[in-house]
Structure formats: structure tokens, C-alpha cells
Amino acid sequence: MSQSAVRQSADDYVVLGKLTSPYGIKGWMKVYSYTSPMEGILDYAEWVLRRDGEVSHHRLKQGRRQGRGLVACLQGIDDRSQAEAMAGAEILLPKEALPQLDSGEYYWHQLEGLKVITLEGMCLGHLAYLFETGANDVMVVKGEGAPDDRERLLPFLPDDVVKHVDLDAGEMLVDWDPDF
């Protein structure tokens, strides 16, 4: 493990997926990817794995689609018992290694924690997390600090519901009826 990796905090990384279980006897593992498309996780040659607070670095030797999921083989993990020991590990990527986005595009981790404010100036709370649905992504806004402490589900629809995002100020302006 490199010294620079030791100094980096958990906030310096984004979780791309996790290793779920061994696949075969030669160190291959099943991979659950949070990237879209799921194969996007295989574009990163260096994987940082975190399991039980321990961090290790591995080069991706091979990866492929297998059935409805993914499998991967990492350097230094050569047999089933080593793969079993890595089951449950998170696959991390340093945030600075993420591709640059166009203006008006955001990674979910950048939006999490933003204060959500209506056009009328009412604070609905903070964006806790997002999730995918078939139609659109959904924002879960926790009402801590809001007048009614409610949890709300808002569609992530730029220009329709989401009017403005200011990452520097830590705020998101939304067109949303607080009673809904």
C-alpha cells in the first residue's frame, strides 16, 4: 500500500461497486457495479479495495460480462480462498480520477448533502441520497432542520424540478410544492 493511499480519507474516494463472491477456482470474483453502464467499472485499470477498514490496491487483469452481471480477475488474487477473503470489499476510485463532466452535469456524490430549497425559499432539508427508477432518478430529501422534518422523494429532473445547483454554496434550488 502506498503512503499516499494511507493519507487519503474516505471522503477522497467514491464507491464504484463491490466484490460479492468468488467465481470459479482461479481467483475470479463476481462484481456488483454501481456505474452506468455497469461495464464502466471495468474501464478503471487500478482498483482500490476496502474491506473491514483495510485498503489494498490491485490491477485489473481481466473483466467481463457474465450472465446478467460482471466478473473480474485482479492481480494478486489467484485462487478461490483469496477471492473468498475479498468478498464484500468495496471498489473505490479516487474522486480526482473521475472523468470531467460537462457544465450542468453532476456525479451523485456531489449532490448528496446539499441543502434543498424551494423557489419560495423554504428549506426542505438535505439531499440524503439518490436512486434509479425506470423513468428517472429520485432524490431522497431528509427534512432534518426543515420546518416539518419530513422525508420527501423528488424526481431528479433538471430544468423541470431541479432549477439550479450551486455546489460551492451547498444548495439546490427546486420547483416543488412543500405540501406534496
Average pLDDT of span 1-27:
75
The model's pLDDT over 46-89, given as tens digits with 9 standing for 90+, comes to 999 999 989 999 999 999 999 999 999 999 999 999 999 999 99
Per-residue pLDDT band at 9 (split at 50, 70, 90): low
pTM of the prediction?
0.71
pLDDT in tens, 142-162: 987 677 889 999 999 999 999
Please tell me the distance from the alpha carbon of residue 177 to that of residue 169, in angstroms, as a whole number.
22
Q: Using a pLDDT cut of 90, give the percent of the chain over it.
A: 71
For range 42-47, the mean pLDDT: 94
Residues 111/165, Cβ–Cβ less than 8 Å: yes
Q: Share the mean pLDDT of the chain.
A: 90
Residue 3 has pLDDT above 50, yes or no: no
3-state secondary structure of 42: helix
CA 90 – CA 108 distance, rounded (Å): 17
Q: How far apart are the first and last CA of the chain?
A: 50
Closest C-alpha among 98, 35, 88 to residue 63: 35
